[in-house]
Copies of this chain bind each other. A is one copy, B any other.
Amino acid sequence: MKVGIFDSGAGGLTVAKSLIEHPIFNEIIYYGDTARVPYGPKDSNTIIRYALEAIEFFNNFNIDALITACNTVSAYALPSMRSKANYPIFGVIEPGILALHNRIKDKNANILIIGTRATINSRRYEDELIKLGYKNITSLQTGMLVPIVEEGITEGKVLDAMLEYYFHNLNIPDAIILGCTHFPLIANAIGDYFHNKPLLIHSGDAMVEYLLNQGYKALEKEPQITIYASDNVYQLRQIAAQWL
């Protein structure tokens, strides 16, 4: 089976990585809209328009399923995308919620959601967690962490200053939803900032768990992956070579 992975840029490679380490599909077609990245600060209408253009892109590939690795796209565009496709489309929010729900039984646990402006403003994670009965939820826009990761910074003073800036007056979280595909790359630094080793929810790993729950079967063999971009594809393939 052939799966498409759509992301606003390079970040979704962290989801691709989970599907390479835990194979479910034989073939991955990765498409990053690097010509218009980032989606996080943009308007919902713009995000939906770009997501529908991605569907057109994948029309060339006869895919069996599509994963929108980008949290921002998952927050806004799934219904519109699904209305234009004849294969299942999976966003990362529902898998993230379920991964947390399977692990955090205490409804009074402190849950921290971090993501881009658009993802946080959508309240998609927050509303679902409230429906499940969780009571102590903090949502935080941490958009500046995205360019930090894209610069290749995963430790050091710049990242420390940024984490302090965002986290310094928060309650200690029991779980953190890494609500942007870039954040798994700084998961260690985020986890270390709090000294209680909070549970970190990673979109890629949550997606693997979710798909297996949906009845997809684990494969033995690593999938073949091909990478496309709307901007300079060589640059994205370089990043992929580094990350994967």
Contact = CB atoms under 8 A, between A and B. Distances in A.
Interface of A: 34-37, 41-43, 46, 143-144, 146-148, 150-151, 156-158, 160-162, 164-165, 230-232, 235
Contact of A150 (B36, B41, B151, B231): B41
Contacts of A157: 161, 164-165
B151 A162 contact: no
Contacts of A151: 143-144
A85 to B, nearest CB: 23
A146 to B, nearest CB: 8
A59 to B, nearest CB: 22
A232 B43 contact: yes
A42 B158 contact: no
10 contacts: A35-B36, A35-B42, A35-B43, A35-B46, A41-B150, A42-B231, A46-B232, A156-B165, A157-B164, A158-B165
